[in-house]
């Protein structure tokens, strides 16, 4: 299918990065298995009291620092050297870019930058690390609260990335979904934009709501599967 396709689009989720030791949300051992994380990415909860989020963010930043792209990210980047491939990702870890992928559209934003909610100033999240690590909530000089540039539940998605993702999907002849439970909307609705005749492959350890419409479902680890086929 990959060989026959002219324009391949990947839609990746947190599952492609679990092999880089970044937990996903919904697997056993994922972030949601800790009841304290249930509303960690809810915008209302964050604005009401950002302290619980920043307690979590300290350890999440450490995980991101230590994480390296795995063979799944690398296989996609390798394929991009010889074929027209676009990567749409729900992840905020930057690992596709670090594996060398280009044309990566992050529809849930980017954890590596933070934005002041009062004046809009944008800084590398790494600059806030010492404040976050000391258990404090980071504020900008203007007095505004910093928030990582990721989309929280209850917020709209970054418009430019979404439009680029939609355009790529409308022109795709093969869509390969990797490591996503496909339950987080609107991202989970993106596959509906693929044209009629576009092949659909799903690589995920657990069943997803779209398995029935796929041409091929590979229920196995992303790294080994992508390395084997790409
Ligand atoms: P999810 O947690 O809802 O689902 C992940 C899916 O991946 C599960 O169905 C699981 O069975 C599967 N999976 C886990 N490890 C796998 C592996 N090695 N190979 C194949 N499949 C594997 O994640 P989601 O669908 O991406 O949606 C949740 C949201 O979580 C996203 O919006 C994303 O922004 C956010 N998130 C991102 C990161 C990250 O950037 N790495 C980490 C956690 C959560």
| Tens of pLDDT, residues 167-196 | 999 999 999 999 999 999 999 999 999 999
Question: What class does CATH assign to 1-22+69-108+156-230?
Answer: alpha beta
Q: Average pLDDT of 140-146?
A: 98
How far is ligand 1, taken at its centre, from the CA of residue 18, in Å? 7
**Could you identify the atom of ligand 1 that is nearest to the CA of residue 30?**
2
Find the Cα–Cα–Cα–Cα dihedral 8, 13, 15, 18, rounded to 10°.
110
Question: Look-up: residue for tokens 């209302």?
Answer: 44
- CATH number given to 23-66+112-150: 3.30.1600.10
pLDDT at 53 over 90: yes
Label the pairing between strands 104-106 and 109-116.
Answer: unpaired
Residue 212's contacts (CB-CB under 8 Å, 6 or more residues apart) are none
Does any ligand 1 atom lie closer than 6 A to the CB of residue 184? yes
* Ligand 1 contact, 18 CB (< 6 A): yes
Residue 140, pLDDT > 90, answer: yes
Question: Which atom of ligand 1 is found nearest the CA of 208?
Answer: 9
Displacement of CA 90 from its chain's centroid (Å): 3
pTM of the model: 0.94
Q: Is the pLDDT score of 27 beyond 90?
A: no
Distance CA 208, CA 148 (A): 29
Most distant CA pair in the chain, distance: 55
Every domain range in the chain assigned CATH 3.40.50.1220 = 1-22+69-108+156-230
Task: State the pLDDT at residue 172.
Answer: 98
pLDDT for position 77 = 97
205 lines ligand 1 (CB under 6 A): yes
Is 38's pLDDT higher than 90? no
Span(s) in the chain for CATH 3.30.1600.10: 23-66+112-150
């Amino acid at each position: 299918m990959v060989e026959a396709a002219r324009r391949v689009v990947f839609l990746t989720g947190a599952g492609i990065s679990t092999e880089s030791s970044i937990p996903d949300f919904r697997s056993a051992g994922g972030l949601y298995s800790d009841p304290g994380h249930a509303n960690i990415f809810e915008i209302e909860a964050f604005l009401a009291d950002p302290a619980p989020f920043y307690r979590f963010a300290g350890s999440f930043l450490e995980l991101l620092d230590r994480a390296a792209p795995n063979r799944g990210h690398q296989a996609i980047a390798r394929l991009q050297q010889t074929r027209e491939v676009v990567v749409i990702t729900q992840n905020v870890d930057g690992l596709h870019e670090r594996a060398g992928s280009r044309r990566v559209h992050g529809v849930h934003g980017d954890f590596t930058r933070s934005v002041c909610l009062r004046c809009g100033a944008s800084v590398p999240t790494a600059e806030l690390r010492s404040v976050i690590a000391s258990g404090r909530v980071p504020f900008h000089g203007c007095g505004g609260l910093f928030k990582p540039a990721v989309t929280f539940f209850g917020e709209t998605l970054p418009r430019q990335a979404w439009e680029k993702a939609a355009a790529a999907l409308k022109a795709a002849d093969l869509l390969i979904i990797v490591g996503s439970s496909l339950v987080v909307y609107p991202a989970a609705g993106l596959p509906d934009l693929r044209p009629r005749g576009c092949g659909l492959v799903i690589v995920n350890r657990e069943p997803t709501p779209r398995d029935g419409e796929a041409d091929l479902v590979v229920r196995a680890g992303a790294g080994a599967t992508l390395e084997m086929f790409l």
